[in-house]
A = this chain, B = another copy of it.
Amino acid sequence: MSKQGQRVILSLRQMIVNGDLAAGERLREESLAERLGVSRTPIRVALKLLAQEGLLQTVGARGYAVRQISTEEIRNAVDVRGVLEGMAARLLAEVGLTESVRDTLKQCLDQGDQLFSRGAIDEGDVVTFHDLNMTFHNTIIDNCGNGAVKSAIMLNDHIPFASVHSIAIDSSAMDREYLRLTFANVQHHLVYDALINRQGTRAESLMREHANAALRYAEIFGVGNGDRGSVKILRSDLTAD
């Protein structure tokens, strides 16, 4: 896969993710080729790969549109991620933490604690916690010793909003966001405790539940109901290499 080929895939992914290509929108090789300033050939390759990746759906006998994903599909994918991340935590508890893994996780916890230590948060804090959250999750997944789990999580993460990479920030409900995120931070503590104590089943259950922190907890804590202007979706997935 050449540089240009990869750039085309990345660009199309980005356009899908940031809404330049809207859900349900019909994609035509020729217009995309014009838009990206290349011939149809790399577009055709990219469309097939993105379709296989799950970002596109076929239209009629041939051709693609940006895949429309229902709320139910997102929830289903979040559940699958919970189960897989739970498995990763269990495996890590079983094999035990190296010094360096332990340090990384501990650092996430400490920085999370510090973030919440003043009793309130702003948008920047949400983003910071989001990064810590990603590091915490990825450290567990990357060190659990089972590459098939990581693959399965990555493939499942192609459902937008199901992954740990997405956050929504509702600036009109920061007090409730504070509550939600401090709870999630405590969950991290509990997972860590289970890990260092080699409690695989406990780690699995905790981590499985923790997958609900983004969507379900947002609902439960009444986050994300602010007007359009106060809700920001940040996406850092799918556009990475």
Contact = CB atoms under 8 A, between A and B. Distances in A.
Nearest to A156: B152
Contact of A49 (B49, B87, B149, B156): B49
A169 B62 CA distance: 41
Interface residues of A, number: 29
A170 to B, nearest CB: 26
Q: How many identical chains are in the complex?
A: 2
A53 B1 CA distance: 15
B76 A87 contact: no
A62 B148 contact: no
A193 interface: no
B80 A149 contact: yes
Contacts of A2: 62
B155 A76 contact: no
Contact of A147 (B76, B151, B162): B76
Contacts of A49: 48-49, 52
Nearest to A74: B148
A79 interface: yes
Contacts of A149: 76, 79-80
A80 B84 contact: yes
A116 B165 CA distance: 50
Interface in A27-62: 44-45, 48-49, 52-54, 58, 62
Given A45-B45, A76-B146, A84-B84, 12 more contacts: A1-B48, A2-B62, A45-B48, A49-B49, A52-B52, A54-B151, A76-B147, A76-B148, A80-B146, A83-B87, A148-B159, A148-B162
Interface of A: 1-2, 44-45, 48-49, 52-54, 58, 62, 73, 76-77, 79-80, 83-84, 87, 146-149, 151-152, 155-156, 159, 162
- Pick the 10 closest A-B CB pairs, nearest first: A76-B148, A77-B148, A76-B146, A80-B148, A83-B87, A155-B155, A152-B152, A80-B152, A152-B156, A52-B52
